[in-house]
Homo-oligomer: A and B are copies of this chain.
Amino acid sequence: MSQVEDVAQDQLRSFVERIERLEEEKKTIGDDIKDVYAEAKGNGFDTKVLRKVISLRKQDANERAEQDAILELYLQALGMVVDLPKN
């Protein structure tokens, strides 16, 4: 194999290793997050709702309002009572 190919091969190995290393770290963090949810659950918190809280804090309020408006519209079109779902 030529020297040029050697360099390319070394680079490739390096990239693969760096990516795999980072993905491992990422997975670890993901597992940590799971652990925290589990711990919260062990302390009596409802993880589903907890996730919702996290999600709400992340979300942009405007987008939410927008979606709400569309949903309300559809429900009205179907003749369903609105002002029920706060979920």
Binding site for B on A (CB under 8 A): 5, 8-9, 11-13, 15-16, 18-20, 22-23, 25-26, 29-30, 32-33, 36-37, 39-40, 43-46, 48-50, 52-54, 56-58, 61, 64, 67-68, 70-75, 77-78, 80, 84-87
Q: Which residue of B lies closest to A11 (CB)?
A: B43
With A36-B15, A70-B49, A70-B52 known to touch, is A57 a contact of B20 (CB < 8 Å)? Answer: yes
From B33, B50, B74, contact of A23 by CB (8 A) = B33
Task: Give the copy number.
Answer: 4
Please determine whether A53 and B71 come into contact, CB atoms closer than 8 angstroms: yes
List 3 A-B pairs, minimum CB-CB distance, nearest first.
A26-B29, A9-B77, A15-B40
What are the residues of chain B within 8 A of A43 when measuring CB–CB?
11, 15
